[in-house]
Amino acid sequence: ETGVTQTPRHLVMGMTNKKSLKCEQHLGHNAMYWYKQSAKKPLELMFVYSLEERVENNSVPSRFSPECPNSSHLFLHLHTLQPEDSALYLCASSQGGQPQHFGDGTRLSIL
């Protein structure tokens, strides 16, 4: 496999469920990112992992919890989400100062 792979592609969950999104990059990059993309809004950076250091957007609610076990894998753990959290969640990776490469996202729907 090449590039950035995200699973699952679609996820429907209730507000009380716990689920995780997975991202894997096969590009040898040293930084990984989570973004939220809502309709008609700019991509919103949620978290950055760079050389195992985490940088986060302070406006991201604590019901979103990232995990980066190594430079190739990134998870986003979801817990007691709200309907407004329904969106496309995109993972990206980059190396040094080079542009970010994106996966195809997980379409999340909260019932």
Partner 1 sequence: QKEVEQDPGPLSVPEGAIVSLNCTYSNSAFQYFMWYRQYSRKGPELLMYTYSSGNKEDGRFTAQVDKSSKYISLFIRDSQPSDSATYLCAISGSARQLTFGSGTQLTVLP
User: Residue 105 interacts with partner 1 (CB under 8 A)?
Assistant: yes
If binding is defined by CB under 8 A, does position 27 make contact with partner 1?
A: no
CA angle 77, 18, 93 (to 5 degrees): 20
99 lies in the site for partner 1, by CB under 8 A: yes
List Cα–Cα distances, 5 to 24, 103, 106, 110, in angstroms. 5, 5, 10, 22
CB-based contact 6:19 (threshold 8 Å):
no
Q: Which residues pair with 20 in a beta bridge?
A: 77
The residue within the footprint of partner 1, chosen from 50, 72, 80, 86 (CB under 8 A), is 50
Question: Which of 7, 82, 98, 109 touches partner 1 (CB under 8 A)?
Answer: 98
**Stretch of 11-19, 61-69, 71-79, 98-106 contacting partner 1, by CB under 8 A:** 98-106
Q: CB of 48: closest distance to partner 1 in angstroms?
A: 6
